[in-house]
Amino acid sequence: MAPSPTVYLSAVARSTSRLRFGPLVFALPLYHPFRLVQEICMVDQISKGRLDIGFGRGASPIEAAYFGNDHAEAEQIYRKNLDRILAALAGDSFDGKGTFNEVDEVPLLVEPYQKPHPPLWYGAHSTDSATRAARMGSNIVSLDTAEETRDFADTFRDVWMDEHGSLDDVPLIGLGMFVHVDEDEARARATASRAYAVWHDSFNWLFRRHDMAIPKHQRPSDFDGMAEQGRAVAGTPDQVSSFLGERMATATASYLVSQIAFGDLSAEETQRSVRLFGEQVIPALRDQPAVA
């Protein structure tokens, strides 16, 4: 239901100078691959190489239907288009076989700023997906528990080691987490609980509208349920840094993906959380040997 991510990211590119950014993910069945290659190259050039790119097949059969696609074919379309998108970014032409125009080689007159292409990201929900990502040379993000993520991470490193013989350049292993920071513990929990309820309602809205089964990767209905699973935290900077440090160490993750703006959090609430996270949580995490 979101507008084109590249339109938004081009605005981010022009409004910032140091920030790295990217989609997690482009749902490939919803794009013509040639158009997407061109947009990736353009945003990478505008940002002077600050773009990261994530690809996926999409999880919503409803949204696929809006675009005239059969969700049952999503995996096949994803794999086919991903291969030719990466080949086009690394080369100077796009293989149009199987698209509506059936052109063998379409020249690319705008190339990516980063060679052979911007850094890749992959959402990992299994050891199989971790294996595929390692062979692609892609960073990964897990939205599952730290314990489950450790299984993905172990597989990811094992496959990388088999492929490259060293872990020196192993890509990032990310752990996703809902995070809200406040000087006041009670206010932090109350705010996060309120905002998460709005987020969860939105997450399932389209499925209720069409009277369909809820999404496959469902989340607990309240923030406390997420916290009990170790997938969310709200509290003071000390509490948040302690929790995140333990979760990162358990997952053996090397990158933290903080879902820090969610639901109906106001600009003031979000900015306070971001400020405290930057000023106090990040330095505390850097001081924890297991995380570092």
Give the start-to-end residue ranges of the domains of the chain.
176-292
Low-confidence ranges of the chain (pLDDT < 50): none
* Separation in Å, CA 275 to CA 108, 141, 280, 288, 291: 42, 24, 8, 20, 21
Give the pLDDT confidence score for residue 137 in this predicted structure: 94
Identify whether the C-beta of residue 237 lies closer than 8 Å to the C-beta of residue 181: yes
Please state the pTM of the whole predicted model: 0.90
Give the pLDDT confidence score for residue 256 in this predicted structure: 95
Indicate the burial class of 10 (C-beta count within 10 angstroms; 0-12, 13-18, 19 or more): middle
Give the pLDDT confidence score for residue 101 in this predicted structure: 60
Give the pLDDT confidence score for residue 257 in this predicted structure: 95
β-pairing, 93-94 with 106-107?
A: antiparallel
Identify whether the C-beta of residue 167 lies closer than 8 Å to the C-beta of residue 161: yes
Give the pLDDT confidence score for residue 105 in this predicted structure: 83
For the stretch 43-78, pLDDT in tens is 999 999 999 999 988 888 888 888 888 888 888 888
Give the pLDDT confidence score for residue 43 in this predicted structure: 98
HEC sequence for the chain: CCCCHHHHHHHHHHHCCCCCECCCCEEHHHCCHHHHHHHHHHHHHHCCCCECEEEECCCCHHHHHHCCCCHHHHHHHHHHHHHHHHHHHHCCEECCCCCCCCCCCEECCCCCCCCCCCCEEEECCCHHHHHHHHHHCCEEEECCCHHHHHHHHHHHHHHHHHHHCCCCCCCCEEEEEEEEECCCHHHHHHHHHHHHHHHHHHHHHHHHHCCCCCCCCCCCCCHHHHHHCCCEEEECHHHHHHHHHHHHHHHCCCEEEEECCCCCCCHHHHHHHHHHHHHHHHHHHHCCCCCC
For the stretch 114-143, pLDDT in tens is 999 999 999 998 999 999 999 999 999 999
